[in-house]
Amino acid sequence: MRNFRTYTKIGAGITLFLCIVAFSTQEWSIQLRNLKTSGLPTGYNELFAASGECANCHNSQVSPEGKSIALANDWRSTMMANAARDPLWRAKVSVELKENPDFTAVIEQKCTSCHAPGGNFNAVHLGQGYTFEKMDSDIIGLDGVQCTVCHQITLASMGQFSGHLDIGENKTIWGPFTNPFGMPMTNFTGYTPEYSAHIKSSQLCGSCHTLLTQAILKDGSLSETFFVEQSIYHEWLNSSYPEEGKSCQFCHVPRIDGPVKISDRPPALAGRDEFGQHHFVGANLFMNMVFSNHSAELGINANATQLDSTKNRMTRMLQDNSLQIQLEELSRDSQKLRVMLNLQNISGHKLPSGFPSRRMWVEFLAVDATGDTLMHSGAPKPNNQFEGDNEVYQPHYQLISESNQVQIYEMIMGDEDGEMTTELLRAVNPLKDNRIPPRGFSNQHLSYDTVRIVGQADLDANFNRDEGIQGSGSDQLTYEVSVKSGSGAVKITAKVYYQTISEEWLQDIFDSGTEESVDFKAMYDYSNPEPTIMAESSLISQTTQTGDLISREAILLFPNPTDGVLNIRNLEPIASTIVLYTMKGKMVLSVENVIDNIQLDLRREGLNNGVYLLVIQHDNKSYFEKIILN
């Protein structure tokens, strides 16, 4: 029989082995945790967990096709994740604080409720105030609009706006899936997942994305009325989207067909259908560029690939899911060419929407066959400006007949004297709001007082109306172009640009001289963000006039109609340029320095059946012919 000492040695050996295993498992767990969180903050306060704690289990999702759709990785490069680090927001608030020092505590408390809610509401829970100084040393405050904030907003909080949130205090995490397997989350984090449909409600987003503010008047008092700084939820509510079952999350948290495992614990967890991808993209490509260029300086917890993914999603949102435009020729005589531009909002809220510095404008260009510019409204200028962007704002137009008239879709804030202002805490009433409403928008809706059309657009029979009936979600704008003898065919091009912040807003920030505005100006100058083209359309206006046209008798063009091969004969012995356009004005073929004869193979150029416009130009003269491809 072994003695006590022998058993002691064996016991010590087992104990040592178990300690080594335990240490190795703990070390592996820490390494795995660091790998999954990849720089996201970890830790807890009384109400919230930092995003890294959630990423520990919720950052390994893959689509049924095997593509990574990791929750934390998709979220971390968005404006939501970086709301507290946004240098434009910080600069703008610093200007408001400089102008209104007596309201510092109120401003900081209100602004951080939506931009740093994890820190703000925890401080409120503890009976404390919350300042920018506290936020800058608070990892959960700097975590932005993060997981445990949105998923702890209670059902009772729905319908409260302006950052007035009811946050649960029993660590219940509301999710979109019934019968959650909650034990791992409860054991690892102390939070318990439960199902509630309100997590997919637009009202949840409206908690912050409808913001009403009071103006600080010249006598130092607060206005009795509220200014609607933004009202994205109520714009959505006053649209056809609710009836169609399309919430905010329908576009901004797009769902995919499952099954998708929403957590990696336990390993045998079943997949769920209709998984919501945490893309949270809007239109702010400008700030994505700043984040990318200054990620280390700003402390952005996302890498270049993740930021680029968010950039691509924003671009698709702006260019594919926001606006459609179409040019249409109305009439032409010897003096005037009249063209209508139809702009159709295909989003679920106004375009543009959100913070009042955002705007869209139309660049309209008319060029005749000789190359002369007949009209250029909204022509781009250096430093991301455009002709006609004056200190005095442009009105809403129904008809534009001069190049210095520019259609700008925007909200202009007015102070208590009715003067234009870019200072939010001076804003009393909008002076102009011609942002294009969504489909179904009506001035009879209960929310209309919050989302009014203001200014000349309210009198425009073609604004949000189709044959006099409200709710088209569109605007029809007429351009009247002066033509001259010999103008020939006129190429019309329209482009709609989106811009996060205008030059006037920028200048008011830069002129303030605050530390935050100086920092932001340096980032802005380095990035030099160009406006984004949202949509474009073009057409060719033809004419029966003959002045300065190439003689039609000399040129042979056959066969027409053609099944693909087109012969052109008897061109003058001068180098000609041959261009083929669709009837909407898109150039699909261009051949330069053609002399005498040429044969074109339209099928080889990838052209489909249809009608095209052939333009032959040389020596400042032009020849036009419709080509039918069968």
HEC states along 476-532? EEEEEEECCCCCCCEEEEEEEEEECCCHHHHHHHHCCCCHHHHHHHHHHHHHCCCCE
Query: Distance (Å, rounded) from C-alpha 563 to C-alpha 581?
Result: 17
Query: Distance (Å, rounded) from C-alpha 521 to C-alpha 254?
Result: 35
pLDDT of residue 32: 42
Report the relative pairing of strands 192-195 and 172-175 from DSSP bridges: parallel
pLDDT of residue 382: 87
This prediction's pTM: 0.84
Report the relative pairing of strands 576-582 and 587-594 from DSSP bridges: antiparallel
Query: Distance (Å, rounded) from C-alpha 379 to C-alpha 600?
Result: 35
* Residue 402: CB atoms within 10 Å: 11
Q: Any idea which residue has 């009403």 for tokens?
A: 212
Task: Tell me the sheet residues that pair with 567.
Answer: 558, 599
Which residue numbers in the chain have pLDDT < 70?
Answer: 1-38, 544-553, 584-585, 619-620
Residue 515 φ then ψ, to 5° = -60, -40
DSSP-assigned letters across all residues of 265-286? SSTTPPPBSSEE------S-HH
pLDDT of residue 529: 86
Residue 509 φ then ψ, to 5° = -70, -50
From 88, 272, 113, select the one nearest 180 (Cα to Cα).
272
pLDDT of residue 21: 39
Q: For Cα atoms 159, 162, 166, give the angle at the middle one, nearest 5 degrees.
A: 55
pLDDT of residue 584: 63
pLDDT of residue 35: 43
pLDDT of residue 624: 76
pLDDT of residue 331: 87
40 Cβ contact partners less than 8 Å away, ≥ 6 residues apart: 50, 51, 52, 55, 72, 76, 301
| Six token digits for residue 106 | 């109120």
pLDDT of residue 314: 98
pLDDT of residue 29: 42
From 624, 622, 617, select the one nearest 560 (Cα to Cα).
624
Is the Cβ–Cβ distance between 238 and 445 less than 8 Å? Answer: yes
Alpha helices in 38-161 (DSSP H): 51-55, 71-75, 87-99, 104-115, 117-125, 132-135, 147-150
Question: DSSP 3-state assignment of 588?
Answer: strand
344: exposed, middle or buried (Cβ count in 10 Å: 0-12, 13-18, 19+): middle
pLDDT of residue 614: 87
pLDDT of residue 10: 40
